[in-house]
Structure 1
Amino acid sequence: MIKAEDKITIKSWAPEDRPREKMLLYGRRHLSDAELLAILIGTGNRNENAVSLSQRILSACGNDLDRLCQLSVKDLTAFSGVGRVKALHVIAALEIGRRRTGIIPAGPQKIDSSHDAYRHLHPIFTDLDHEEFWILLLNQANYVKSKHMISKGGRAGTVADPKIIFKTAIDNQGTFIILAHNHPSGNLRPSKEDLFITRKLADAGKLLDLLVLDHLILVNGNYYSLADEGCF
């Protein structure tokens, strides 16, 4: 183990190598992921500086920023040198970045394809460790009217109650419905239950003149369109 008196601190580095000074000199794009994380963490622990600690955290996530975004306060504070305040700083910064990527352009949004629907919906499901079921409501010209969470469950699934779905669509004067839920397991393929509920809702929608246009399954920055695949 490194002795405290032998520890190499960031202050002893050349100014152009210190994360904060490096950002000021060269700009944010010249910093590594570990250096950016080190700026958020601020300090390390008795045995390692902030950059080394950040490298260890990233290594534990397989150097995958998506996995880093999924860490909780409890997960982060398991690393020596990361207290609750530091963990909250990291989580807050990552959430700001997530929200920025999910900003929808101003003005009416028309949905002409499954990809259009995915772009509109994916910010909702990014980094979730549980399953949620949402609907996107469109008007007669396929412009988005609103979106609504129908249910929230665990990692194994959630309930899509047809009564709640169609009541929500009627109350909000929707003409078309796009269904969406995520698979925290990472499996992009629809389950038998997914196929069953989609066909059930599509058939019920025809009777109510509230057509179900698609059902998207979202997983890790990707999606599966049941309509595109001819599943209903």
Structure 2
Amino acid sequence: MRLTHNLIKEMPKLSRPRERLENDGEKALSTHELLAILLRTGPKDSSAVDLSMSLLASFEDLYYLKTASLEELMCVNGIGRTKAIEIRAAIELGSRIALATQEKKGQVTSSHTIGKRLIKEMKDLQQEHVITLFLNTKNEIIKKETIFVGGLSQSVAHPREIFRGAVRYAAARIIVAHNHPSGNPTPSDADFAFTKRMATCGELMGIELLDHIIIGSDSYISLKEMGAI
């Protein structure tokens, strides 16, 4: 005979679905535990875990649960209209997530191409902006982020801020760019030092610094083309 708990609050804390997900991650949970989190509560004198197991037992497998109508879901004791709607919404959201793809924002073919593009975007900025382009293995831009906006003459951007994003987006390579509000893109000693730090961090993490581009009012300088990377 299966041992059940009438209420989730009566279960040992570390055995409760929400706590298990928080401690062990969602992949460690069974299907009925994941479903119990969505259901939240069960009918009188029963838990969301019991209700989730009853719901799954009413359908042969997840495919038939996926295709169940509101009326079919409501035939399960403890599933009212509100819970049935929430289940249908969760199923549809899961389907849309499964079809979602990572948006690409163009492909980097050369420093010249990306430099010209960034001139148009950054030449009129009155403050210094540090941006990062995150690339996949095909050099497609999967994300572009402004990492720092600072004063006219200094930048406090730190490599950890940039590589945090690189790890988050699973980037294979990155391009860092910043503008000189003065309009003169000539690199400073600080620019060279920052580039060296970025390249070193990239080597340690296995994420290549493809280029560091400095944008002026009508021109750019690529530190890779200069041989600094």
Which residue is equivalent to 2:167? Answer: 170
- TM-score of the pair, normalised by structure 2: 0.53
Gaps of 5+ in 1: 1-105
Which stretches of structure 1, 4 residues or more, deviate above 3 A after TM superposition? Answer: none
- Tell me which residue corresponds to 2:196: 199
- Per-residue deviation, 1:108: 5.3
Q: Could you tell me the TM-score, scaled by structure 1's length?
A: 0.52
Partner of 1:183: 180
1:6-41 Cα offsets, whole Å, 9 max, x none, are xxxxxxxxxxxxxxxxxxxxxxxxxxxxxxxxxxxx
Change (3 A) 1:124 1:202: same
8 Å contact from structure 2 (residues 210, 224) kept in 1: yes
Structure 2: state its 5+ residue gaps.
1-102
Q: CA deviation at 1:187?
A: 2.1
Deviation at 1:118, TM superposition (A): 1.7
* 1:231 alignment partner, SS class: coil
Q: Which residue of 1 aligns with 2:219?
A: 222
CA contact (8 A) 1:136 1:147 kept: yes
Deviation at 1:221, TM superposition (A): 2.2
Aligned equivalents of 2:205, 2:104: Cα separation in 1: 29
Per-residue deviation at 1:107? 6.7
Distance in 1 (alpha carbons) for counterparts of 2:116 and 2:134: 15
* C-alpha distance in 2 between matches for 1:130 and 1:213: 24
Count of matched residue positions in the alignment of Structure 1 and Structure 2: 127
**CA distance in 2: counterparts of 1:213 and 1:107, whole angstroms:** 18
What is the match of residue 153 of structure 1? 150
Mapping of residues 20-99 of structure 1, within 5 Å? none
Partner AA of 1:121 in structure 2: L
RMSD in angstroms over aligned alpha carbons? 1.7
Work out the percentage of aligned pairs sharing the same amino acid.
36
Shift of residue 126 of structure 1? 2.9
Amino acid at match of 2:219: N
Q: Which letter does structure 1 place at the counterpart of 2:197?
A: K
The structure that has the greater radius of gyration is 2
Task: Work out the CA distance in 2 between the residues paired with 1:219 and 1:213.
Answer: 20
**1:185 CA displacement:** 1.4
Shift of 1:157: 1.9
Using the TM superposition, give the Cα deviation of residue 122 of structure 1 relative to its aligned residue in structure 2, in angstroms.
2.9
Distance in 1 separating the partners of 2:105 and 2:147 = 23
Q: Which residue of 2 aligns with 1:129?
A: 126
Letter paired with 1:156: S
